[in-house]
Amino acid sequence: MWSHSHWQQSLYGSGCKSGERLTRYAQTFNTVEGNTTFYATPANTIVKKWNEATPDNFRFTFKLPQTITHQNQLMHCEQLVADFLTVMEPLAEKTGLWKIQLPANFGPNALSALNKFLAKLPSHLNCGVEVRHPAFFAKGEEEKILNRLLIDHGANRIIMDSRPVFAAPPTTEAVIDAHQKKPKVPVHAIATATNPMIRFIGHPDDHSNDPFFANWLQRIPQWLADGKQPYLFIHTPDNNQAPELATRLYQQLQRQLGEANTLPDIRLPDLNGKSSQITLL
């Protein structure tokens, strides 16, 4: 997301108006999850404003509406998909991934629907699929079939890493809420296409995240060396400190890459509008 009031203290500054937040966000980070499209398709005017607020090299990842993924479960929804993509057309070139988030009851018996859905999508669309059914994390035949299906269609498997937040004791309202809403699934770090996506749900204690991020410091450089372009999204239970955590972990990745690092620097602005570097500890 890009609109979070607490970020007035870190990412935006007190003088930033709500309508300017996406522009400020895009001056620091180069991609964002657009979750609002899951609940409702935005108006054409809003889509055009999002386009005007971001540079050409910025990349959105938009969720397909829940009417498609949850209510219809990918069946009999050709017109819904067409209508959604028509509205989102001004941002088509800036959309890195179209996210297909499937409900927990979308299991192995529904894979034929996923296969038909992906086959009908326009070939130029780059998509990611997030599954939550336990069978797709059991390392059995059902998961193998899913992964093969995604590979065949060039679709990315979205990876949820909720280990950090579930390692936090449920002693605050934000952590309790995250434990109730976030899926607790194993981390299967597989790249089924060229843009693997990681959703890292952080621990509220900043440095408690480091042991969980250590494996990504090995996996992401390998993906980069293989010519892939991963998407990495960092959350915290209430997301208040997500920009700081994202910046710090990103700098760890830059250090890990060493001489092979070609990633642009990410710096959070201070309240006076100057750039400030997060110090790695």
| Same domain as 241, residue 140 | no
What per-residue confidence (pLDDT) applies to 272? 54
- Give the pLDDT confidence score for residue 13 in this predicted structure: 84
Compute how many other C-beta atoms are within 10 angstroms of the C-beta atom of residue 4.
17
Q: What is the pLDDT of residue 69?
A: 98
Q: How far is CA 180 from the centre of its chain?
A: 19
Share of the chain above pLDDT 70, in %: 96
Averaged confidence pLDDT in the chain: 93
From 99, 119, 154, give the residue that closes a domain.
154
Domain boundary among 122, 154, 186: 154
User: What is the mean predicted confidence (pLDDT) over 70-87?
Assistant: 97
**Pair 109, 138: CB distance under 8 Å:** no
| pLDDT above 70: residue 271 | no
Structural domain for 243, as ranges: 163-281
103 and 144 both lie in a single domain: yes
* Domain assignment present for 7: no
* 8 Å CB contact between 171 and 208: no
H helices, E strands: number in the chain: 12, 9
The confidence score (pLDDT) of residue 15 equals: 84
Q: Is 141 found in the same domain as 191? A: no
Q: How many Å apart are CA 231 and CA 61, to the nearest integer?
A: 9
| Residue 201 in domain | yes
Q: Is the dihedral of CA 130, 134, 136, 142 positive or negative?
A: negative
Examine the pLDDT at 281 and tell me if it is beyond 50: no
What distance lies between CA 37 and its chain's CA centroid? 14
Confidence at residue 1, expressed as pLDDT on a 0 to 100 scale = 84
Q: Is residue 225 part of a domain?
A: yes
180 and 147, same structural domain? no
Same domain as 180, residue 145: no
Confidence class for position 274, pLDDT limits 50, 70, 90: very low
Total domains in the fold of the chain? 2
Q: What tokens appear for 185 in the block?
A: 């699934």
Same domain, residue pair 146 and 175: no
The model's confidence at residue 275, banded by pLDDT at 50, 70 and 90, is very low
Contacts of the segment 223-228: beta carbons below 8 A, 24+ positions apart: 223/191, 223/196, 224/257, 224/260, 225/260, 226/191, 227/194, 228/191, 228/194, 228/195, 228/196
The whole-number pLDDT of residue 205 equals 96
Q: Is residue 142 assigned to a domain?
A: yes
Please tell me whether residues 205 and 248 are part of one structural domain: yes
pLDDT for res 154: 97
CATH number at residue 143: 3.20.20.410
User: What pTM did the predictor assign?
Assistant: 0.92
